[in-house]
Amino acid sequence: MTEVFTSWKSWQDAVRPLAAALPEETVEALEGAVAFAVRQHGDQRRPTGVPYVEHLLEALEIAVIGAQMRDPDVLVAIVLHDVVEDTPCTRAEIAERFGEHVAELVAWVTKPGVAPGQDKAAVKAAYLRALAGAPEQAVLVKLADRVSNVQELHRMPVEFQRRYHRETVAHVVPLAAASPWFARWFAEWRDDYRAFE
């Protein structure tokens, strides 16, 4: 069975393991990022019904505990990866509060809006294809996000599972090839879902 990272439901759950793994200044930066993200996302919930912050903390747990990431900008970007896409927050606000590098990483993983007359699926596919040219650090942000999204895919309706599985295999799994931990995790995950292939 693929390893699942769902033990951090709140900052209080995360702070002790983070403090054991990371320098104090990185933990402080993450605390600020989590507080900012919680304010931005407000009462938003995931499709499973859980508070949005749980997804952000899952992605952070995946990065720190699973993939052993230590780069503070990458970790902060993981916490903030959906704020521009899913809230009124702008890239400029991210840059002002967390620095231009974090803002750039968040921008890489932010799906563009769909303009009138555009096909939503085509816009998303173009965004996913563009990730093949993303900097390595931005790819790591996307991989942590996608592991969080698919680690409990079985909780979603079957048709959604099939569509999201196809998309992940086509566009995200190839991105994991350069990162041994993510490559191994996605290989195990694909084995769990081999009936879909």
CA-angle at 146, arms to 58 and 190, nearest 5° = 110
Query: Residues 71, 86, 93, 192: which is the catalytic one?
Result: 86
Catalytic: 86? yes
How far apart CA 165 and CA 173 sit, in angstroms, is 10
Instruction: Name the nearest CA neighbour of 79 among 101, 99, 55.
Output: 55
Query: Residues 71, 85, 104, 167: which is the catalytic one?
Result: 85
Catalytic: 96? no
Structural tokens at position 21: 């793994």
Which residues, 6 or more positions from 29, have their beta carbon under 8 angstroms from its beta carbon?
A: 72, 75, 76, 98
- β-bridge mates for residue 45, sequence order: 51
Which residues are annotated as catalytic?
Answer: 85-86
